[in-house]
Amino acid sequence: MLKSLNVNQLYPRWLVGNENDQPIQLIDVRSPQEYANAHVPGAKLISLNTLMARANEVPKQGDVYVICQMGGRSAQAISYLSQQFGFDNLINIDGGTAAWMQGGYPIAEEADA
């Protein structure tokens, strides 16, 4: 079963993590170009097309939030990681980066992957 949160539920967790110098584990599975245009500050870029090769970079402990543009690719990524590698700590962000931006939450616009 796919666990998910919307951006209004994610933001308080993101904010508290940053305030306590313990940022949440957030993976952005969009393309490098999409990521460079706008992403949630602190999100780590692991593009969907590189996920198979980089699955070892996804933490197996603690909640890991997975985000894309709208929520579709992140759901695909979670399904893949769960089936192939047994991950059970992944949470999809419904609405993705588009909803984050619509909500007026902070955005980074540099390629700091």
d(CA 79, CA 74): 9
Annotation marks residue 68 as catalytic: yes
Reported CATH class of domain 3-102: alpha beta
Given 7, 43, 68, 75, the catalytic residue: 68
Per-residue tens of pLDDT for the chain, all 113 residues:
799 999 999 999 999 999 999 999 999 999 999 999 999 999 999 999 999 999 999 999 999 999 999 999 999 999 999 999 999 999 999 999 999 999 999 999 875 54
Pairing of strands 64-67, 44-45: unpaired
d(CA 60, CA 34): 26
d(CA 71, CA 109): 20
Which residue carries 């047994």 as its tokens? 86
- pTM for the predicted model, two decimal places: 0.95
- DSSP secondary structure letter of residue 28: E
Domain range annotation of the chain = 3-102
